[in-house]
A and B are shown apart, each in its own frame.
Chain A
Amino acid sequence: AQSVTQLGSHVSVSEGALVLLRCNYSSSVPPYLFWYVQYPNQGLQLLLKYTTGATLVKGINGFEAEFKKSETSFHLTKPSAHMSDAAEYFCAVSGMNTGFQKLVFGTGTRLLVSP
Protein backbone atom coordinates (compact mmCIF):
# COMPACT_ATOMS: atom_id res chain seq x y z
CA ALA A 1 0.00 0.00 0.00
CA GLN A 2 1.10 3.55 -0.64
CA SER A 3 0.57 6.84 1.20
CA VAL A 4 1.80 10.41 0.88
CA THR A 5 2.40 13.13 3.47
CA GLN A 6 2.78 16.74 2.44
CA LEU A 7 4.14 18.90 5.23
CA GLY A 8 2.46 22.28 5.42
CA SER A 9 -0.95 23.00 3.95
CA HIS A 10 0.22 26.53 3.08
CA VAL A 11 3.67 27.83 2.16
CA SER A 12 4.34 31.55 1.68
CA VAL A 13 7.34 32.94 -0.18
CA SER A 14 8.35 36.25 -1.66
CA GLU A 15 8.82 36.65 -5.38
CA GLY A 16 12.37 35.62 -6.26
CA ALA A 17 12.80 33.41 -3.19
CA LEU A 18 13.45 29.68 -3.14
CA VAL A 19 10.39 27.46 -3.24
CA LEU A 20 10.52 24.21 -1.23
CA LEU A 21 7.45 21.98 -0.96
CA ARG A 22 7.90 18.82 1.08
CA CYS A 23 6.62 15.36 0.27
CA ASN A 24 7.28 12.09 2.08
CA TYR A 25 5.89 8.80 0.92
CA SER A 26 5.33 5.32 2.16
CA SER A 27 5.30 2.40 -0.22
CA SER A 28 5.55 -1.36 0.15
CA VAL A 29 7.05 -1.59 -3.34
CA PRO A 30 9.45 0.68 -5.23
CA PRO A 31 7.48 3.83 -5.96
CA TYR A 32 6.66 5.97 -8.91
CA LEU A 33 6.36 9.58 -7.72
CA PHE A 34 4.59 12.57 -9.21
CA TRP A 35 3.99 16.26 -8.60
CA TYR A 36 0.86 17.89 -9.98
CA VAL A 37 -0.15 21.55 -9.94
CA GLN A 38 -3.67 22.99 -9.80
CA TYR A 39 -4.29 26.61 -10.73
CA PRO A 40 -7.51 28.25 -9.49
CA ASN A 41 -10.68 26.83 -11.04
CA GLN A 42 -8.74 24.31 -13.12
CA GLY A 43 -7.96 20.62 -13.06
CA LEU A 44 -4.56 19.20 -12.19
CA GLN A 45 -1.64 19.06 -14.59
CA LEU A 46 1.59 17.10 -14.33
CA LEU A 47 4.70 19.04 -13.25
CA LEU A 48 7.15 16.16 -13.18
CA LYS A 49 7.52 12.48 -12.36
CA TYR A 50 10.09 9.98 -11.16
CA THR A 51 9.91 6.45 -12.52
CA THR A 52 13.40 4.96 -12.74
CA GLY A 53 16.92 6.20 -13.44
CA ALA A 54 18.16 9.67 -12.50
CA THR A 55 16.92 10.69 -9.07
CA LEU A 56 16.90 14.41 -9.86
CA VAL A 57 13.94 15.09 -12.07
CA LYS A 58 13.30 18.32 -13.95
CA GLY A 59 9.81 19.45 -14.81
CA ILE A 60 7.97 22.30 -16.39
CA ASN A 61 8.15 25.95 -15.31
CA GLY A 62 11.60 25.56 -13.72
CA PHE A 63 10.57 23.07 -11.03
CA GLU A 64 12.60 20.04 -10.06
CA ALA A 65 12.40 17.28 -7.46
CA GLU A 66 14.84 14.78 -6.04
CA PHE A 67 13.96 11.21 -5.14
CA LYS A 68 15.75 10.23 -1.91
CA LYS A 69 15.09 6.62 -1.10
CA SER A 70 16.86 6.69 2.27
CA GLU A 71 14.65 9.59 3.40
CA THR A 72 11.51 8.39 1.56
CA SER A 73 11.18 11.92 0.23
CA PHE A 74 10.42 13.64 -3.05
CA HIS A 75 10.57 17.37 -2.28
CA LEU A 76 9.74 19.92 -4.96
CA THR A 77 11.96 22.96 -5.45
CA LYS A 78 12.30 26.03 -7.64
CA PRO A 79 15.21 28.46 -7.26
CA SER A 80 13.20 31.65 -7.79
CA ALA A 81 9.46 32.00 -7.28
CA HIS A 82 7.26 33.90 -9.73
CA MET A 83 3.84 35.33 -8.99
CA SER A 84 2.43 32.89 -11.55
CA ASP A 85 3.58 29.96 -9.38
CA ALA A 86 0.80 30.66 -6.89
CA ALA A 87 -1.29 27.48 -7.00
CA GLU A 88 -1.97 24.26 -5.13
CA TYR A 89 0.57 21.46 -5.47
CA PHE A 90 -0.10 17.77 -4.99
CA CYS A 91 2.42 14.98 -4.50
CA ALA A 92 1.30 11.49 -5.55
CA VAL A 93 2.64 7.94 -5.50
CA SER A 94 1.87 4.69 -7.25
CA GLY A 95 3.57 1.34 -7.02
CA MET A 96 6.32 -0.04 -9.28
CA ASN A 97 4.55 -3.30 -9.67
CA THR A 98 2.89 -5.34 -12.33
CA GLY A 99 -0.78 -4.88 -12.77
CA PHE A 100 -2.95 -1.86 -12.28
CA GLN A 101 -1.87 0.58 -9.59
CA LYS A 102 -3.92 3.42 -8.25
CA LEU A 103 -2.38 6.84 -7.82
CA VAL A 104 -2.53 8.03 -4.20
CA PHE A 105 -2.45 11.79 -3.64
CA GLY A 106 -1.32 13.88 -0.71
CA THR A 107 -3.56 16.52 0.83
CA GLY A 108 -1.94 19.34 -1.12
CA THR A 109 0.14 22.44 -0.35
CA ARG A 110 -1.05 25.88 -1.35
CA LEU A 111 1.82 28.12 -2.46
CA LEU A 112 1.34 31.82 -1.86
CA VAL A 113 3.74 34.25 -3.58
CA SER A 114 3.95 37.84 -2.42
CA PRO A 115 5.50 40.72 -4.39
Chain B
Amino acid sequence: DVKVTQSSRYLVKRTGEKVFLECVQDMDHENMFWYRQDPGLGLRLIYFSYDVKMKEKGDIPEGYSVSREKKERFSLILESASTNQTSMYLCASRGFGGLNTGELFFGEGSRLTVL
Protein backbone atom coordinates (compact mmCIF):
# COMPACT_ATOMS: atom_id res chain seq x y z
CA ASP B 1 0.00 0.00 0.00
CA VAL B 2 1.24 3.44 -0.89
CA LYS B 3 1.63 5.72 2.05
CA VAL B 4 2.11 9.36 2.94
CA THR B 5 2.74 9.77 6.64
CA GLN B 6 2.43 13.01 8.54
CA SER B 7 4.27 12.81 11.83
CA SER B 8 1.76 14.62 14.02
CA ARG B 9 -2.03 14.39 13.73
CA TYR B 10 -2.72 17.04 16.37
CA LEU B 11 -0.48 19.80 17.68
CA VAL B 12 -1.05 22.69 20.05
CA LYS B 13 1.53 25.47 20.00
CA ARG B 14 1.86 28.96 21.41
CA THR B 15 2.17 32.17 19.45
CA GLY B 16 5.77 32.79 18.44
CA GLU B 17 6.88 29.16 18.65
CA LYS B 18 8.73 27.52 15.76
CA VAL B 19 6.72 24.62 14.38
CA PHE B 20 7.88 21.73 12.22
CA LEU B 21 5.41 19.56 10.31
CA GLU B 22 7.00 16.47 8.84
CA CYS B 23 5.82 14.40 5.88
CA VAL B 24 7.31 11.16 4.57
CA GLN B 25 6.27 9.19 1.49
CA ASP B 26 7.32 5.67 0.58
CA MET B 27 6.49 5.76 -3.14
CA ASP B 28 9.72 7.28 -4.49
CA HIS B 29 7.66 10.24 -5.76
CA GLU B 30 9.42 13.28 -7.17
CA ASN B 31 6.71 15.86 -6.44
CA MET B 32 5.56 16.78 -2.94
CA PHE B 33 3.09 19.42 -1.78
CA TRP B 34 1.87 21.18 1.34
CA TYR B 35 -1.72 22.40 1.42
CA ARG B 36 -3.69 24.23 4.04
CA GLN B 37 -7.39 23.35 4.48
CA ASP B 38 -9.85 25.78 6.04
CA PRO B 39 -13.67 25.59 6.11
CA GLY B 40 -15.20 27.39 3.16
CA LEU B 41 -11.82 27.96 1.52
CA GLY B 42 -10.99 24.45 0.37
CA LEU B 43 -7.36 23.49 -0.12
CA ARG B 44 -4.81 26.18 -0.74
CA LEU B 45 -1.27 25.41 -1.89
CA ILE B 46 1.47 26.67 0.41
CA TYR B 47 4.64 25.25 -1.15
CA PHE B 48 5.59 22.44 -3.49
CA SER B 49 8.75 20.64 -4.51
CA TYR B 50 9.63 19.20 -7.92
CA ASP B 51 12.43 17.08 -6.58
CA VAL B 52 15.06 16.90 -3.88
CA LYS B 53 16.32 20.33 -2.79
CA MET B 54 13.86 22.02 -5.18
CA LYS B 55 11.04 24.16 -3.80
CA GLU B 56 8.54 26.61 -5.20
CA LYS B 57 6.06 28.96 -3.59
CA GLY B 58 2.41 28.15 -3.93
CA ASP B 59 -0.49 30.54 -3.51
CA ILE B 60 -0.11 31.35 0.20
CA PRO B 61 3.58 31.00 1.18
CA GLU B 62 3.75 33.93 3.60
CA GLY B 63 4.76 32.86 7.09
CA TYR B 64 5.94 29.42 5.94
CA SER B 65 9.11 27.80 4.66
CA VAL B 66 9.92 24.26 3.55
CA SER B 67 12.82 21.84 3.40
CA ARG B 68 13.40 18.86 1.10
CA GLU B 69 16.80 17.37 1.84
CA LYS B 70 15.78 13.81 0.99
CA LYS B 71 13.41 12.60 -1.69
CA GLU B 72 11.02 10.94 0.71
CA ARG B 73 10.72 13.80 3.22
CA PHE B 74 9.14 17.23 2.88
CA SER B 75 8.97 19.47 5.93
CA LEU B 76 6.82 22.54 6.49
CA ILE B 77 8.19 25.13 8.91
CA LEU B 78 6.36 27.92 10.67
CA GLU B 79 9.17 30.19 11.85
CA SER B 80 6.99 32.07 14.34
CA ALA B 81 3.52 30.62 14.68
CA SER B 82 0.55 32.96 14.75
CA THR B 83 -3.09 32.34 15.62
CA ASN B 84 -4.14 32.79 11.99
CA GLN B 85 -2.08 29.74 11.13
CA THR B 86 -4.46 27.53 13.11
CA SER B 87 -5.60 25.10 10.43
CA MET B 88 -5.48 21.60 8.98
CA TYR B 89 -2.29 20.97 7.01
CA LEU B 90 -2.24 18.29 4.31
CA CYS B 91 0.84 16.83 2.66
CA ALA B 92 0.62 15.12 -0.74
CA SER B 93 2.94 13.46 -3.22
CA ARG B 94 2.84 12.60 -6.93
CA GLY B 95 5.13 10.61 -9.18
CA PHE B 96 6.80 12.34 -12.09
CA GLY B 97 5.43 9.76 -14.48
CA GLY B 98 1.97 11.07 -13.65
CA LEU B 99 2.99 14.70 -14.01
CA ASN B 100 -0.23 16.63 -14.48
CA THR B 101 -2.60 13.70 -14.80
CA GLY B 102 -1.31 11.65 -11.94
CA GLU B 103 -3.06 11.07 -8.70
CA LEU B 104 -2.04 13.04 -5.64
CA PHE B 105 -1.61 10.80 -2.61
CA PHE B 106 -2.49 12.57 0.63
CA GLY B 107 -1.48 12.09 4.21
CA GLU B 108 -4.13 12.10 6.95
CA GLY B 109 -3.45 15.68 7.90
CA SER B 110 -1.99 17.59 10.82
CA ARG B 111 -4.40 19.75 12.77
CA LEU B 112 -2.48 22.66 14.26
CA THR B 113 -3.89 24.95 16.93
CA VAL B 114 -1.93 28.09 17.81
CA LEU B 115 -2.91 29.70 21.11
Contact = CB atoms under 8 A, between A and B. Distances in A.
A90 B90 CA distance: 14
Interface in B28-84: 31, 35, 40-45, 48, 50, 58
A69 interface: no
B104 A44 contact: yes
A46 B100 contact: no
B106 A96 contact: no
Which of under 10, 10 to 19, 20 to 34, or 35 or more describes the interface residues of B? 20 to 34
Chain A: interface secondary structure?
A: loop
B108 A100 contact: no
Given A49-B103, A94-B100, A100-B50, A43 B40 contact: no
Given A32-B101, A51-B101, A95-B100, A107 B108 contact: no
